[in-house]
């Protein structure tokens, strides 16, 4: 199933990279640092950087939810243990008449 999704995306990215090989110069404003690289590398690199920044933001935002879920699971385990202990204390059930 993954291959059905991955193959067209990879083909599209390779086609894009091969179609946009013109060199561009990228400069970092406060410094004199400049890079000359293919246009496709600049665009795909920017997209990859944005993806990873978004993934990091999402991961950090989900930390609280994961923490609450972990606490809830621990509470459920503790409650289940208490319930099992209380059930063991009950006298045996009388057989139906």
For residue range 27-44, list pLDDT tens digits in order.
988 899 999 999 999 999
Average pLDDT estimate for 89-96: 78
Q: Phi/psi of residue 56, each to 5°?
A: -65, -40
Structural domain includes residue 97: no
**45-81 pLDDT tens trace:** 999 999 999 999 999 999 999 999 999 999 999 999 9
**15-29 pLDDT tens trace:** 999 999 999 999 988
Structural domain includes residue 94: no
Q: Is 27 within 8 Å of 33 (Cβ atoms)?
A: yes
Q: How many domains does the chain have?
A: 1
Question: What is residue 4's predicted lDDT score, i.e. its pLDDT?
Answer: 93
Query: Is residue 95 scored above 80 in pLDDT?
Result: no
Query: Is residue 1 scored above 90 in pLDDT?
Result: no
Count Cβ atoms below 10 Å from residue 40 Cβ, excluding itself: 19
End-to-end CA distance of the chain: 58
Structural domain includes residue 29: yes
Which residue range(s) make up the domain with 22? 2-89
């Amino acid at each position: 199933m993954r291959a059905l999704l991955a193959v067209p995306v990879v083909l599209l990215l390779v086609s894009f990279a091969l179609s946009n090989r013109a060199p561009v110069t990228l400069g970092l404003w406060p410094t004199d640092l400049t890079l000359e690289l293919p246009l496709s590398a600049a665009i795909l690199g920017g997209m990859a950087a944005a993806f990873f920044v978004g993934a990091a933001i999402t991961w950090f935002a989900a930390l609280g939810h994961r923490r609450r879920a972990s606490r809830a699971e621990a509470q459920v385990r503790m409650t289940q243990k208490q319930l099992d202990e209380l059930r063991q204390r009950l006298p045996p059930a009388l057989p139906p008449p």
